[in-house]
Amino acid sequence: MNCAPLYINGEFVETRERQNVLNPSTGKVIAQVFLASEKEIDLAVESARKAFDKGAWRGFSLKERKAVILRIAEGILNKAEELARIETESTGKPIKETTFMDVPSAAKTFEHAANNLENYLINETLAPAQEAGAVLLREPVGVVSLIIPWNYPLLIASWKLASALAAGNTVILKPSSITPLTAFELGKIIHEAGMPPGVVNIINASGAKSGQILCCDKRIDMVSFTGSLEVGKEILRYTSSSVKKLLLELGGKSASLVFADVDIETAVNSSLCSVFLNQGQMCTAMSRILVQEKIYDQFVASFVSKAKAIKLGLSDNHETQMGPLVTDSQRKKIIAYLEKAKTEGARILCGGKIPQDAELKNGYFFEPTVIGNVKPHMHIFKEEVFGPVAIVGSFSDSKEAVELANSSDFGLAACIWSKDLGLAEEVAKKINAGTIWINTYGMFYDQLPYGGFKQSGFGKELGRDGLLEYTRLKNIIIDHSNEGKPLVNYWYGF
């Protein structure tokens, strides 16, 4: 059976321990990945440190850096079909999504970072006073730990890698041990692109074993993490021991506000996508759909009818609209949330069960689920379920809509559906979330920053702001006093 090696200091490394990778559609083992011990983790950190301090990468010009990153983008496109297949087999997301969304978007992220790094990394020359000048330098932070979740393993790895490398850093990439395969395929592409040894290191290890090392080690200057709130809090605690820079994206409980003037069919179809794409395993899933009272019954009837019609199937089938959840434990977590919601008075309008289709019996499938009669105090209204579960509630006016949208500890994203763009823009200003979509969902652009507020974390991915997260700003002040004698020279009167 194929076993993916680690990638450390420009070499593919095999270890004693191995880990199985399962296909969520079938529950069968599809590959193995070598596991890093503390020895290999330490080697990866040391390799990244040496590559940054003494390696060739630091001396690359921006044009040379750009050329390597563009070759990575080209390599992704050259292996697009293979990457899409591997991502589908290991995550369970439908092949249509990996083929047309994840893989091309990953390549475009590297392309954008490469083509814009010279514009983003501009040093500034200032004259703050008559006798002084200053130069503001954008420098790489240094060695960066990139810790990736299981729901978008290739795409989020690309988001972080593209910005970190464009800024000139060296990295240790740690994918989720549930879905590590495309990260190691990306390592092959990076190797073939001519990246100097030690600049990119990719390890596979349990979070418990590697997390503390990758967050506490003084040789590491920054941690960029996307994942759960619980793990994010642990990372905050770990990084406090060495006071390093931190970027956190910790999920959400996003609200979609549907006003009465919308075209209902458009709003329903779009809302289905906003919560059931990738089986609802998205940080930006619009899991709280709030509809203005005037059209609530009509919206719910259509939404439930279409949710029931979503085609579940094996993820490699091009006709499949929704695949399995990533693990059986994730499915059990969702069932537990639904049971608690029912005891609190919520009502399941459709779904809420494991499908009985014989073809799906070995996978981790779960029906698209719609819940009504949910109140703001309920756990399922406030907490991230991370599965194909949509809450449909109502509001009377824009004031109540904003109050309900903001009644969450998270602040990642939101949607607003209305033909009145003036109203929509005013509502958007009042919603406490980092990304607001008006009359659309999920439009990510490499030019625009992405990141949340409150318990959703801090820092940005993508765009100029996302790339600059991986830099530090140095201020060099130059005295231009007459005859080279500044005021400080006379302070003691000598």
Helix (H) or strand (E) segment spanning residue 259: none
At 317-334, the pLDDT tens digits run: 999 999 999 999 999 999
Rounded to an integer, the average pLDDT of 277-281 is 98
Residue in 488, 451, 481 with CA at minimum distance from that of residue 224: 451
Instruction: Give the confidence band of 398 by pLDDT, cuts at 50, 70, 90.
Output: very high
Q: Which of 283, 350, 367, 415 is catalytic?
A: 283
Residue 59, number of CB atoms within 10 A of its CB: 8
pLDDT of 189 strictly over 80 = yes
Buried b / exposed e over 319-346, threshold 16 CB at 10 Å, is ebbbbbbbbeebbeebeebbeebeeeeb
Residue 2 clears pLDDT 90, i.e. is over it: no
pLDDT band (50, 70, 90) for residue 175 = very high
In angstroms, rounded to a whole number, what is the distance separating the alpha carbons of residues 172 and 17? 20
Q: How far apart are the C-alpha atoms of 458 and 285, rounded to whole Å?
A: 18
pTM value? 0.96
Kindly tell me if the per-residue pLDDT of 76 is higher than 90. yes
Q: What is the pLDDT of residue 206?
A: 83
| Mean pLDDT computed over every residue of the chain | 96
Has 249 been annotated as catalytic? yes
Average pLDDT over residues 85-103: 98
Choice among 249, 367, 384, 461 that is catalytic: 249
Q: What integer is the mean pLDDT of 200-205?
A: 97
What is the C-alpha separation between 118 and 10, in angstroms, rounded? 26
pLDDT confidence of residue 494:
76
* CB neighbour list of residue 23: distance below 8 Å, 6 or more residues apart: 29, 30, 89, 90, 92, 315, 363
Output the pLDDT for position 7: 98
The answer, yes or no, to whether residue 439 has pLDDT greater than 80, is yes
Residue 283 annotated in active site = yes
Q: Which pLDDT does position 130 carry in this prediction? A: 86
- What would the pLDDT profile of 12-37 be if each residue is shown by its tens digit? 999 999 999 999 999 999 999 999 99
Percent of the chain with pLDDT over 90: 94
Q: Where are the domains of the chain?
A: 3-250+456-476, 255-438
Topology (CATH) of 255-438: Aldehyde Dehydrogenase; Chain A, domain 2 (3.40.309)
Candidates 3.40.50.300, 3.40.605.10, 1.10.10.60, 3.30.70.1150; CATH matching 3-250+456-476: 3.40.605.10
- Residue 137, SS3? strand
- Counting residues of the chain whose pLDDT is more than 70, the rounded percentage is 100
- If you average pLDDT over residues 459-480, what whole number do you get? 97
**Is the pLDDT at 208 greater than 80, yes or no?**
no
Categorize the per-residue pLDDT at 486 as very low, low, confident or very high, splitting at 50, 70 and 90. Answer: confident
- Return the H-helix or E-strand segment holding 32: strand 29-34
- Of 76-80, 209-213, 266-270, the one with minimum mean pLDDT is 209-213
For residue 471, pLDDT beyond 80: yes
Q: What angle do CA 448, 454, 459 make, to 5 degrees?
A: 40
Residue 482 has pLDDT above 90, yes or no: no
CA distance 82 to 90: 12
